[in-house]
Amino acid sequence: MIKKFIDKLFGKSASPASGATRSKKSVFGERREVGPQDHAINPKLVDERAMDVVHTLKRAGYEAFIVGGAVRDLLVGLRPKDFDVATNATPEQVKSLFRRAFIIGRRFRIVHVIYGRGRGREHEVIEVSTFRAHLDSSLAEQVGGNERTSKSELAGMKHAVDASGRVLRDNVWGPMEEDAARRDFTINAMYYDPETQIVVDYHHGIRDAKKKIIRMIGDPATRYREDPVRIIRAVRFAAKLSDLGFKFEDKTVAPLREMKGLLADVPQSRLFDEMLKLLQTGHSLASIEQLKFLGLNTGIYPLLDVVVDTSEEPFLQLALLDTDRRVGEGKPVAPSFLLSCVLWADVREGWARRLKRGEHTMPALQDAIDDAFNAKIGDVSGRGKLGTDMREIWTMQPRFEKRTGSSPYSLLEQPRFRAGFDFLRLRAQTGEIEPELAEWWEKFSTAYDDERHEMIEQARLEQSKKPQPPRTRVKRAEGDAPRSDDAGHALAPAPETGESGEPAPAKKRRRRRKPANREGGSAAGPASDAPIDF
C-alpha cells in the first residue's frame, strides 16, 4: 500500500506494464553511475578553472558536473579544448558566486565565468548552464514568426516554438535526468564529477563511446526540427571523431539531407558562428569531406558553399591545413585571416582586371575588395572589426613589395602585421609571388636595427639596377577632360580659388635637398624611394 501511495504521489502508474512507465523510461533513460575503474578518465586532463567552478558551486550547496563534449573527449583520451559545467543553480545564482560572470543568451540563458585577463588560453571562459526540463514541444507556446520578427512576443516566454517546431525559447529548469534527455547525442549527455570521479550516464553514452557510434537521443527527425543547427553539429562531431573511427548510427544520419532546408529559418549570425566552428576547431578539411559525403556541400550558408567549392584550390587548402595545425598546437586562430584566404581568389581576380585596365594599385585593390564583400560576404561585412581586419590583411599585400625608405618600418608597426605576413607566406608557398619576398620579410621582422638598415639599403641597390617600367596614363573620366572653347581649342586650367573665392596664390615648387650621408652608411635613396602613404 505504501509503495502504491508513493508511486501515485510521484505520478507513477501502478501497473509496471503501463505505457506511461515505458514512455518515461525511454525518454529519460536510466541513471548509471560509473566509477574511475571503468571509465578510465585521467583527472589530470581536467582544466583547473573548470574544477574551480565545480568546487565553488558545490560548496554553495548546488549540484555541479562537467558535461557535454568535454566528458566525451576525456573518455576517449583527448584533452578537451573547452569545458562546460551543468548545475541545478539558476543563472542568477551562478552569477552571484563569481566575480567575473555574465548571463548571456535569450534562447538558452547561460552564464560565462571568465578567468584571466590575457589572450589565448590565459583568457578562459567556462560556460555554465542550468539543468533544463524536458518539455513536449507540441505543448509549447507557438509564435508565427522567427526569433527576429517575434522578438517582442518572445520576451516574456520561457518555452516557445515557431510554426516548423523549432524551439525559440527553452528556459524552464528541471532535474538532471530531464536535462540529459534534451541534449542531442548520447556521447554528449554524460556528467562527470571531478571530485568523486563518477560519470553519470542516462543514455548509454559510455557504451556508444566504446563502440564509436554517434547516436541521437530520441527521434532524430524531431530533434533536428527542434534545433536545425544540430545538423551542422552532427557534421562537426563526425569530422572531429572520424580519425578515432566514430561513425553515425543509420537512423541518426538518415534525415540529414532532407531536413537541410530547415536551416533557412535559423538566424544568419548563428549560422555564421557554426560555420566558423566547422572551420576553426582543428578539423576543417575533415568537416568539408563530411559535408560532401553527406550531401550537405551546398545550401547551409553561402560563404560555406564557397569554402567547400574552392577547398581543393592550393591556396585555400594550404590555409585550411595551416589553421588545423595551429589549433592542434594550441595557438589562436582569427576568423578574419581564414575568411580573407577564402575570398582571396575573388579579390585577386578583380584586382588583376583593374590593373590591366591601367588603374592605380591601391584604388584597384579597394574596389576589388568591395566587389568581393558585396558578392560573397554581404551580412558579414557589417560585423565591424571582422571586415576591417580582412581589409587590412589584403591591403598590406602590395605594401610588402615596398622594401626601401621608411615603409618597411611603418608596415612592421601595423597591429595586423603578423596576419598580413602569414598571408604573404601562403602566397609564396603556392607560387603566387617569389619566395624571396616572404623570406626577406621573415628575416627583417626578427632582425636588429643595424641589420634592418643594411637590408633596406641592399634592397634599394637591387631596385636601382632593375629597368623601371614606363609610366602608363589612366584614361580620364569624362568629368576630368581638359576644357576647350567653342572652336575646340584647349583652354588653360581654371585658376584655383580659396575659400573666399579669390584666386589662390601660385604654389611654389620646393627643391628636394640632397640628403647627407649617414655616419657609417651610404646616402639615402632617390626620390622614388620615398615611402608611399597608403
What is the torsional sign of CA 247, 250, 251, 253?
positive
What 3-state class would DSSP assign to 528? helix
Decide: 221 and 259 in contact? Cβ < 8 Å: yes
**Out of 73, 84, 208, 324, which one is annotated catalytic?**
84
**Count of C-beta atoms within a 10 Å radius of residue 281:** 19
Catalytic residue among 7, 52, 82, 193: 82
Type of residue numbered 442: E
CA 490 to the chain's CA centroid: 58
In the chain, how long is the greatest CA-to-CA distance?
118
CB 393 within 8 A of CB 420: yes
**CB contact at 8 A, 222 and 212:** no
The residue annotated as part of the active site, out of 184, 201, 322, 324, is 184
- What b/e readout covers 424-441, taking b as 16+ CB neighbours within 10 angstroms? bbbbbbeeebeeebbebb
Give the Cα separation of 533 and 527 in Å (integer): 14
- Helix ranges (DSSP H) in 118-173: 151-154
CA nearest to 336, candidates 422, 430, 235: 422
Long-range contacts of 350-358 (CB under 8 A, 24+ apart): 358/472, 358/473, 358/474, 358/475
Provide the b/e sequence for 211-231 (b: ≥16 CB within 10 Å): eebbbbbbebbebbbbbbbbb
Q: Among the residues of 244-313, which ranges form H helices?
A: 250-253, 268-280, 284-293, 302-310
Nearest of 289, 325, 323 to residue 308 by alpha carbon: 289
Contact 217, 184 (CB under 8 A): yes
84 is catalytic: yes
Size of the chain in residues: 534
Question: Cα(240)–Cα(326) distance, rounded to whole angstroms?
Answer: 15
E strands present in 317-445: none
d(CA 44, CA 40): 12
Instruction: Give which of 233, 229, 267, 50 is closest to 146, Cα–Cα.
Output: 267
- The yes-or-no answer on residue 219 being catalytic is no
Beta strands 247-248 and 213-214 are parallel
Active-site annotation, residues? 82, 84, 184
